[in-house]
Amino acid sequence: MFNKRIKIKQLLLLEPGSQQVTVMGWVRSFRNTQFIALNDGSTNNNLQVVAELGKFDEAILKRITIAASLKVTGVVIPSPGKGQKLELKATVIEILGDSDAEKYPLQPKKHSLEFLREIAHLRFRTNTFGAVFRVRHSLAFAVHQFFNERGFVYLHTPVITASDAEGAGEMFRVTTLPAQNPPLTDDGTINYKEDFFGRATNLTVSGQLEGELGATALGEIYTFGPTFRAENSNTPRHLAEFWMIEPEMAFCDLEDNMNLAEEFIKYIIRYAMEHNPDDLAFLAQRLADEEKQLPQDKRSELGLIEKLDFVLNNDFERITYTQAIDILLQSPAYKKKKFQYEVKWGIDMQSEHERYLVEKHFKKPVIVTDYPMDIKAFYMRRNDDGKTVAAMDILAPGIGEIVGGSQREERLDKLLQRMEAMHVPAEELWWYLDTRRFGTVPHAGFGLGFERMVQFVTGMSNIRDAIAFPRTPGSAEF
């Protein structure tokens, strides 16, 4: 009869009036052999359970240790103590699982985020990660709600793919061939014909190409799944395994694409703010405390909640790549030689440049459009100037690039030209090119990195703290 329990989140909303309830959860602390702070993961707010002195066996009380799991039946009464409206006066306490307090790795004190990463199997039990993962859930749910409300079809694109033509990043090979002495071809290379799929395969870096196949028949689709990049970049914004949301829309140009992306970002932020106010308030306080240790000029100007409110209530800035480069060239930072990397038209902007635009110059999210053709993927639609493509990146304060998207090249001849120039093998992508051969349409889409979004909303500065079990170079524990 476990479903007879009430979750602490619901219980805390009751008007205390001697209702009898049963709760279950884990002990966060036990004071004066009388006051148990019980948490069941439904909220960061603990329930105060009172075990009246003299009412319970010594043997039971001894087993109420940090992290032990309990089933408590009692009555909900107004709390005379400070800090809570109500408390649970226990009538029956049952120990579901003991916990050796001496050996428990999470002591009731502040642990660093680095340390918590080493015990990621237990970090859900901290207030910080409880809040992060409830917010992450809300954002994920809001993603589906947003697209569902607009009639998009959720398309599951493959995780294992044979196309290595996208050029988005280094790929992880998927193979069942033996690592030692794999079968070889006559010229001494590995013979993937003998591999499981009869060819070389990889984990996907993006579902976009398959997404385009769906969109050019179903109209509007989105994907939301794991993507993999074996990029050896140890940064606070890159994971080897991350979740990406990729909508793809037929009958859609770059401007429609930007409008949708901006509306989408605002929608999921608003959803989390409406559904997780306590968690966000906790995370805002955590961030403020963390930033107190930074020098004044490194602290954020706005608190977390103010930042999110600001994003909701203001239009994103929209500028072209060419304008962005001009702003950088005119900037005091450039004149004082503060940028480590070169600035000139044609560069792939580095994180320092993106952050300057967003954090120093505009102080709000910025959509940069019309990038030089040569630094973008082959499928982006060529602009009439012959030099740029209809691409758009959305840059967010503290994160940098959060969305990358474009209008796609729907003209077969132009697409083939680009593929040839960029050495993308057209024969391998025959299925992709068929969309341009049979009823091609203007279409567009984008990819949003879900963990970067979670970072933005929760204020966690390292992407490893925005996913339950981060995979990064040299690290795949748990």
Is 403 a binder of ligand ATP (CB under 6 A)? yes
Q: Are 355 and 340 in contact (CB under 8 A)?
A: no
For ligand ATP, which stretch binds (CB under 6 A), given 185-193, 195-203, 229-237, 433-441? 229-237
Least spacing, CB of residue 242 vs ligand ATP, in Å:
4
For ligand ATP, which stretch binds (CB under 6 A), given 39-47, 298-306, 317-325, 400-408? 400-408
For ligand ATP, which stretch binds (CB under 6 A), given 74-82, 263-271, 424-432, 447-455? 447-455
Phi-psi region of 386 (alpha: psi -120 to 50; beta: other; left: phi over 0): left
Strand-strand pairing, 47-50 and 86-97: parallel
Least spacing, CB of residue 449 vs ligand ATP, in Å:
2
For ligand ATP, which stretch binds (CB under 6 A), given 143-151, 266-274, 422-430, 441-449? 441-449
Sole binder of ligand ATP in the list 404, 445, 459, 470 (CB under 6 A): 404
Question: Hey, what are 456's tokens?
Answer: 């933005």
For ligand ATP, which stretch binds (CB under 6 A), given 137-145, 171-179, 189-197, 236-244? 236-244
Q: Are 221 and 251 in contact (CB under 8 A)?
A: no
Measured CA to CA, the distance from residue 448 to residue 84 in angstroms comes to 40
Is 401 a binder of ligand ATP (CB under 6 A)? yes
For ligand ATP, which stretch binds (CB under 6 A), given 108-116, 143-151, 235-243, 419-427? 235-243
Longest dimension (CA), the chain: 86
Is 258 a binder of ligand ATP (CB under 6 A)? no
Is 229 a binder of ligand ATP (CB under 6 A)? yes
Least spacing, CB of residue 393 vs ligand ATP, in Å:
7
Sole binder of ligand ATP in the list 444, 452, 457, 465 (CB under 6 A): 452
CA–CA–CA angle 84, 86, 88 (5° rounding): 120
Measured CA to CA, the distance from residue 418 to residue 458 in angstroms comes to 40
CB atoms within 10 A of CB 17: 10
Nearer CB in complex with ligand ATP: 74/459 = 459
Give CB contacts under 8 A, 24+ apart, made by 123-130.
Answer: 124/41, 124/468, 125/26, 125/39, 125/67, 127/44, 127/282, 128/282, 128/283, 128/286, 129/465, 130/39, 130/41, 130/44, 130/279
> How far is CA 4 from each of CA 7, 118, 122, 245, rounded to the nearest angstrom?
10, 36, 27, 37
Is 408 a binder of ligand ATP (CB under 6 A)? no
Measured CA to CA, the distance from residue 226 to residue 244 in angstroms comes to 6
Is 168 a binder of ligand ATP (CB under 6 A)? yes
Nearer CB in complex with ligand ATP: 129/243 = 243
Is 316 a binder of ligand ATP (CB under 6 A)? no
Residues 77-116 that bind ligand ATP (CB under 6 A): none
CA 356, 360, 365, 367 torsion-angle sign: negative
Is 447 a binder of ligand ATP (CB under 6 A)? yes
Sole binder of ligand ATP in the list 195, 248, 410, 451 (CB under 6 A): 451
Is 164 a binder of ligand ATP (CB under 6 A)? no
Pattern 347-386, ligand ATP, x by CB under 6 A: ----------------------------------------
Is 402 a binder of ligand ATP (CB under 6 A)? yes
Nearer CB in complex with ligand ATP: 248/451 = 451
Measured CA to CA, the distance from residue 395 to residue 403 in angstroms comes to 7
Task: List the alpha helices (DSSP H) in 336-465.
Answer: 351-355, 412-421, 430-437, 450-458
Compute how many residues bind ligand ATP; rule: CB under 6 A.
18
Which residues lie near ligand ATP (CB under 6 A)? 168-169, 229, 231, 237-239, 242, 244, 401-404, 447-449, 451-452
